[in-house]
């Protein structure tokens, strides 16, 4: 499908699912990560996110991605360690301030949460092309869906117009020498762009009015098909989401760092939760791998 | 299917001294194909907008327009949206959404149809218009012709019984324009949709029309079948200004007094067969060979590509421009004509080959869309701004502005906003502004796009005045007739180079497809006749 996508990613079977299914996945995934404080669960999220992102972007992206995640964890650990003085295990004193092990651990844990969310968001941006964004917003507020669609329309239009204006100004010998004349010319070009675009938006609104925009009961059209595969996956994500919520409510993922590192549920329950969550986060990866296998079998050229 | 009846309609814009439409009485029958023509600013758009209540401008109105039995301003918005389709001039500005499929569905969404119904209608339309191959594309990747076809399809998806089109082809190149008009014809024959089309390109619109209406200063000057209108515009040997806009074949027959006016080359040939015309031998004249040293600018074996891995756009292009000549470059879309202009202008640098400038030449390019130049709020200030970077005294600048206003015949419009001018006036203002840079080479990119035929003659006169002053003009154009009538030399651009160059007569005599309709008509007898005037003189001598 020819849509605005923000990065170069490989084909993903998961992204061909219905947008609601994709949205449900990220909603569950991000919510769990953001309310968990268990290092085991967060590290699981960190590694599954990194694994799937590497699969999507290619092996060469592994090192920079992993490095950026580790940097986030490290920076968060250092910042928290030096600014929070709670915790009982004192490592050393700095200007009469206690620098504690718990402080560093809490920071690192928060860093793992942050970098997991960053990975998930990067995957999300690969999955949600412009048409899916428009569809999802259109489900909630139809006029916002249309608005986003018009924005996606006007970005390339304005860019092309600006190039035309720039080229026209050069064509009549308007060139710049130095910083200030450059700014003056750019301002002028920008003002032409504004006037031109406002003028042409009158014609756009005419064309909208001519096709009955403003009538009551506008619907929002889309090309997505909700197949049985989407139905099962959506149900699966919702059930799993409820299970995760129950687990979180029971405190399986709650961990206290201050004054001492302390878990409220038994460790094996935390491991169980992490295993389940890891499996959930890798569902897209598994779906993609199955998709790849099918394509290999289907190879028409033998 | 309802008829549309204008019952003594007059319309006046607020603050205006005269009526934009005066006492219009006419009836448009169901399934008619009506072509509306007239000079720019004669009230064509105002007239068409009276048929569509949402677009009717604000002003004083008397009389009435009936759609069937209903006065059109009392029509419900839903009925109007469904039954009366309206296509506007600018292909880009009309598109609302970002993808082709969404645009097709836009009107149906407004009507509140369920997804399954929209899907069905969109699928149908995409198939009919041959859009299925670019159904999923972003609209920004389409060509101008595709965009306008999309606008038409998006309107047709609402299944209107009346289709109103306000100069839909004025921003398109001739090939895309004739495709668009062919599609309209097909719609008309297949579905019996009533079509009301305003057009400048009468050469192709006339054969399609059942009825032609000529507007003049807000009044219906004449209406009837194309041939009747053709005759009415040339009564007693006194041509009405719109006569110059008629298809050149009609003008030729009219001026030579040959009876029935033909609409196509085939009809014209059949009629001419009755007369004993001599077949003239074709003698190629030797063009006096000009040496490169008398040129004011030359390109030598220029190669150009936009990206390292892309195919070259210009391939060993060589050309020379001489002082005081008018050189026209013709050719299809995307063959590199505009790129060649940018190279000549110096905006792009060739990767191989040379661009040679002789004696302190300055070059200026008039862009295809004049709006890309306008920064000020009045015509006067716009021209004055064009002088801003020159080291002149205030008085000198004012004098030059005044001179340019007079030369471009814009003196009366001096305090108008550039955006309120008609397409032709904007074009004149743009040329005026560019000329203030005192170029001795003027480059024009499609200067006749969107101009009415009457104004084209004025533009040609202005440009001839410039060549008389020794300014050379290099023009890229699709307008075969305009090139044939005016240029000193013509060249055909193909695959990155100029494949043939010659005087218009030799150039078009050699061409079989890419030539004027007069030449197509008279070819069997004399290949050297390319313009209406030449054809007329020759025919009158023969008869």
User: Which of A157, A159, A221, A225 to mutate to test binding with chain B, by most B CBs within 10 Å of its CB?
Assistant: A221
Q: How far apart are CA B323 and CA B442, in angstroms?
A: 11
- Angle, nearest 10°, between helix axes A228-249 and A19-35? 10
CB B121 within 8 A of CB B154: no
Residue B513: burial class (beta carbons within 10 Å; 0-12, 13-18, 19+): exposed
CB A285 within 8 A of CB A13: no
Q: Which residues of A touch B137 (CB under 8 A)?
A: 2
CA B399 to chain CA centroid, Å, is 33
CA neighbor of B19 nearest in space, from B217, B166, B215: B217
Write out the two tokens for A224: 């997505």
Enumerate residues 6+ apart whose C-beta is below 8 A from B443.
A171, B341, B344, B345, B363, B364, B365, B366, B473, B474, B475
pLDDT given at position B292: 58
Q: How far apart are CA A1 and CA A122, in angstroms?
A: 20
Q: Which residues 327-386 of B have a C-beta within 8 angstroms of A?
A: 342, 345, 347, 362, 364-369, 371-375, 386
Residue B185: burial class (beta carbons within 10 Å; 0-12, 13-18, 19+): middle
Enumerate residues 6+ apart whose C-beta is below 8 A from B253.
B259, B260, B261, B262, B268, B271
Q: Which residues 420-459 of B have a C-beta within 8 angstroms of A?
A: 433-434, 437, 443
From residue A218, give the alpha-carbon distance in Å to each of A150, A211, A221, B55, B82.
16, 12, 10, 20, 14
CB A156 within 8 A of CB B98: no
Tens digits of residue pLDDT in B441-466? 999 988 888 788 888 888 899 899 88
Q: How far apart are CA B375 and CA B418, in angstroms?
A: 9
Contact criterion met (CB < 8 Å) for B107 and A212? yes
Q: Which residues of A touch B79 (CB under 8 A)?
A: none
Write out the two tokens for B504: 């218009």
Q: What is the CA radius of gyration of chain A?
A: 26
Contact criterion met (CB < 8 Å) for A203 and B89? yes
Q: What is the CA radius of gyration of chain B?
A: 25
* Cα-based angle A147, A152, A154 (whole degrees, multiple of 5): 90
Contact criterion met (CB < 8 Å) for A165 and B115? no
pLDDT reading at A36 higher than 50? yes
For residue B33, the cross-strand partners are B195
The full DSSP string for B160-218 is -SEEEEESTTTTS-HHHHHHHHHHHHHHHHHH--EEEEE-S-HHHHGGG-SEEEEEETT
User: Which of B89, B97, B100, B151 to mutate to test binding with chain A, by most A CBs within 10 Å of its CB?
Assistant: B97
pLDDT given at position A136: 92
Check CB contact of A61 with chain B, cutoff 8 Å.
Answer: no
pLDDT reading at A6 higher than 50? no
Helix (H, G, I), strand (E, B) or coil at A1: coil
pTM for this prediction: 0.87
Enumerate residues 6+ apart whose C-beta is below 8 A from B120.
none
Q: Which residues of B touch A199 (CB under 8 A)?
A: 371, 419
Percent of chain A past pLDDT 90, that is, above it, reads 64
B307: DSSP letter: S
b/e for B514-540, b at 16 or more Cβ within 10 A? bbbbbbbbbbebbbbbbbbebbbebbe
- Phi, psi angle pair for B173, to nearest 5°: -75, 160
Q: What is the ipTM of this complex?
A: 0.86
CB A215 within 8 A of CB A6: no
Q: Which residues of A touch B156 (CB under 8 A)?
A: none
Helix (H, G, I), strand (E, B) or coil at A121: helix
pLDDT given at position A1: 41
From residue B64, give the alpha-carbon distance in Å to each of B6, B15, B74, B94, B213.
6, 22, 11, 28, 19
| Host H or E run for residue B71 | strand B70-71
Check CB contact of B123 with chain A, cutoff 8 Å.
Answer: no
The answer to whether the bond into B26 is cis (omega within 30° of 0) is no
Check CB contact of B60 with chain A, cutoff 8 Å.
Answer: no
Write out the two tokens for B426: 């904007």
Nearest beta carbon to residue B94 from set A131, A207, A216: A207
What are the DSSP E strand ranges found in B358-488?
363-366, 441-445, 472-476
Count CB atoms within 10 A of the CB of residue B203.
22
pLDDT < 50: residue spans in chain B: none
CB B295 within 8 A of CB B359: no
pLDDT given at position A20: 95
Nearest beta carbon to residue B112 from set A1, A210, A219: A219
Check CB contact of A143 with chain B, cutoff 8 Å.
Answer: no
Q: Which residues of B touch A223 (CB under 8 A)?
A: 101, 119
Check CB contact of A205 with chain B, cutoff 8 Å.
Answer: no
Count CB atoms within 10 A of the CB of residue B401.
22
Q: How far apart are CA B176 and CA B454, in angstroms?
A: 23
pLDDT given at position B358: 77
CB B74 within 8 A of CB B27: no
Q: Which residues 267-326 of B have a C-beta within 8 angstroms of A?
A: none
Tens digits of residue pLDDT in A185-230? 899 899 999 999 998 999 999 999 999 999 998 888 999 999 999 9
pLDDT given at position B49: 94
Enumerate residues 6+ apart whose C-beta is below 8 A from B289.
none
Q: How far apart are CA B66 and CA A158, in angstroms?
A: 40
> Average pLDDT over chain A, rounded to whole?
90
- Angle, nearest 10°, between helix axes B115-128 and B100-110? 130
Nearest beta carbon to residue A204 from set B78, B93, B364: B93
- Phi, psi angle pair for B278, to nearest 5°: -75, 145
B327: DSSP letter: E
Nearest beta carbon to residue A173 from set B97, B115, B364: B364
Enumerate residues 6+ apart whose C-beta is below 8 A from B389.
A173, A174
CA neighbor of B169 nearest in space, from B87, B49, B98, B65: B87
pLDDT reading at A176 higher than 90? no
B420: DSSP letter: G
From residue B285, give the alpha-carbon distance in Å to each of B288, B348, B526.
9, 36, 15
Enumerate residues 6+ apart whose C-beta is below 8 A from A149.
A130, A134, B96, B97, B98, B99, B102
pLDDT given at position A302: 55
CA neighbor of B494 nearest in space, from B509, B510, B508, B514: B514
Residue A177: burial class (beta carbons within 10 Å; 0-12, 13-18, 19+): exposed
Nearest beta carbon to residue A150 from set B96, B114, B386: B96
From residue B256, give the alpha-carbon distance in Å to each of B247, B263, B308, B503, B520.
15, 16, 57, 26, 18
Q: Which residues of A touch B78 (CB under 8 A)?
A: 212, 215
Percent helix, percent strand, percent coil in chain A, to nearest 5: 70, 5, 25
Helix (H, G, I), strand (E, B) or coil at B87: strand
Helix (H, G, I), strand (E, B) or coil at B109: helix
pLDDT given at position A143: 85
In the block, which residue shows the tokens 């677009």? B55
pLDDT band at A76 (very low <50, low <70, confident <90, very high): very high
Helix (H, G, I), strand (E, B) or coil at B428: helix
Tens digits of residue pLDDT in A106-140? 999 999 999 999 999 999 988 988 889 999 988 88
pLDDT given at position A3: 47
CA neighbor of B316 nearest in space, from B348, B289, B351, B290: B351
Q: How far apart are CA A107 and CA A101, in angstroms?
A: 10
Q: Taking phi first (over 0 means left), then psi (-120 to 50 degrees means alpha), and beta for anything else, what does residue B314 get?
A: beta
CB B343 within 8 A of CB B314: yes
């Amino acid at each position: 499908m020819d849509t605005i996508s923000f990065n170069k990613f490989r084909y993903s079977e998961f992204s061909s699912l219905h947008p609601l299914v994709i949205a449900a996945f990220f909603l569950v995934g991000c919510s769990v990560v953001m309310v968990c404080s268990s290092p085991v669960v967060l590290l699981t999220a960190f590694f599954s996110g990194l694994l799937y992102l590497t699969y999507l972007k290619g092996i060469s992206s592994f090192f920079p991605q992993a490095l950026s995640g580790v940097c986030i964890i490290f920076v968060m650990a250092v910042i928290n360690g030096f600014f929070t003085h709670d915790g009982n295990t004192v490592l050393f004193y700095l200007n009469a301030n206690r620098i504690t092990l718990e402080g560093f651990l809490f920071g690192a844990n928060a860093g793992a949460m942050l970098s997991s969310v960053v990975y998930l968001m990067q995957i999300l941006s690969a999955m949600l092309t412009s048409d899916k964004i428009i569809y999802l917003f259109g489900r909630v507020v139809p006029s916002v869906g249309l608005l986003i669609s018009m924005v996606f329309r006007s970005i390339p239009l304005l860019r092309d117009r600006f190039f035309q204006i720039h080229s026209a100004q050069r064509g009549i010998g308007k060139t710049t020498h130095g910083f200030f004349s450059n700014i003056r010319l750019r301002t002028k070009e920008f003002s032409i762009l504004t006037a031109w675009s406002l003028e042409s938006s009158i014609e756009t609104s005419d064309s909208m009015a001519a096709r009955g925009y403003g009538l009551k009961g506008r619907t929002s059209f889309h090309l997505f098909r909700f197949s049985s595969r989407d139905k099962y996956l959506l149900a699966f994500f919702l059930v799993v989401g409820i299970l995760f919520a129950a687990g979180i409510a029971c405190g399986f993922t709650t961990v206290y760092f201050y004054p001492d590192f302390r878990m409220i549920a038994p460790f094996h329950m935390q491991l169980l939760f992490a295993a389940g969550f890891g499996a959930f986060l890798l569902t897209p990866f598994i779906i993609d791998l199955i998709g790849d296998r099918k394509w290999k079998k289907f190879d028409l050229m033998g | 299917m309802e008829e549309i009846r204008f019952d003594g309609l007059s319309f006046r814009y607020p603050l205006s001294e005269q009526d934009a439409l005066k006492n219009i009485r006419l009836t448009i029958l169901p399934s008619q194909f009506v072509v509306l023509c007239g000079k720019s600013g004669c009230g064509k758009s105002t007239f068409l907008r009276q048929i569509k209540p949402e677009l009717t401008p604000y002003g004083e109105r008397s009389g009435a327009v009936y759609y069937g039995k209903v006065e059109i301003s009392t029509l419900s918005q839903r009925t109007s949206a469904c039954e009366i389709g309206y296509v506007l001039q600018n292909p880009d500005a009309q598109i609302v959404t970002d993808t082709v499929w969404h645009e097709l569905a836009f009107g149906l969404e407004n009507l509140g149809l369920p997804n399954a119904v929209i899907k069905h209608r969109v699928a149908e339309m995409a198939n009919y218009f041959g859009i299925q191959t670019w159904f999923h594309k972003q609209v920004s990747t389409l060509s101008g012709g595709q965009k306008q076809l999309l606008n038409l399809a998006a309107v047709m998806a609402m299944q209107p019984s009346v289709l109103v089109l306000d100069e839909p082809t004025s921003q398109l190149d001739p090939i895309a324009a004739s495709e668009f008009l062919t599609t309209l014809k097909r719609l008309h024959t297949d579905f019996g949709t009533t079509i009301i089309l305003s057009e400048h390109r009468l050469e192709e619109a006339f054969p399609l029309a059942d009825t032609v209406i000529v507007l003049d200063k807000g009044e219906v000057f004449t209406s009837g079948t194309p041939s009747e209108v053709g005759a009415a515009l040339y009564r007693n040997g006194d041509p009405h200004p719109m006569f110059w806009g008629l298809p050149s074949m009609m003008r030729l027959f009219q001026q030579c007094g040959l009876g029935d006016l033909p609409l196509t080359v085939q009809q014209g040939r059949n009629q001419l067969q009755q007369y004993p015309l001599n077949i003239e031998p074709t003698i190629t004249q030797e063009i006096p060979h000009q040496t490169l040293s008398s040129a004011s600018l030359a390109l030598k074996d220029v190669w150009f590509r936009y990206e390292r891995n892309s195919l070259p756009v210009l391939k060993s292009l060589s050309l020379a421009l001489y002082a005081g000549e008018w050189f026209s470059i013709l050719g299809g879309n995307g063959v590199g004509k505009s790129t060649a202009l940018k190279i000549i202008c110096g905006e792009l640098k060739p990767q191989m080959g040379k661009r040679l400038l002789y004696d302190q030449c300055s070059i200026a390019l008039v862009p295809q869309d004049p709006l890309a130049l306008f920064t000020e709020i009045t015509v006067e200030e716009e021209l004055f701004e064009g002088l801003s970077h020159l080291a002149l005294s205030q008085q000198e600048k004012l004098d030059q502005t005044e001179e340019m206003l007079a030369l471009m015949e814009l003196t009366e419009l001096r305090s108008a906003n550039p955006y309120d001018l008609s397409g032709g006036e904007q074009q004149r203002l743009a040329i005026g502004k560019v000329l203030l840079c005192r170029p001795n080479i003027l480059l024009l990119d499609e200067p006749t796009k969107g101009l009415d035929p009457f104004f084209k003659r004025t533009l040609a006169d202005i440009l001839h005045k410039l060549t008389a002053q020794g300014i050379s003009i290099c023009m890229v154009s699709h307008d075969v007739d305009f090139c044939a009538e005016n240029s000193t030399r013509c060249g055909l651009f193909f695959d990155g180079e100029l494949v043939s160059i010659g005087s218009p007569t030799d150039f078009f005599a050699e061409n079989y497809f890419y030539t004027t309709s007069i030449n197509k008509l008279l070819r069997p007898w004399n290949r050297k006749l390319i313009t209406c005037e030449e054809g007329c003189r020759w025919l009158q001598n023969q008869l």
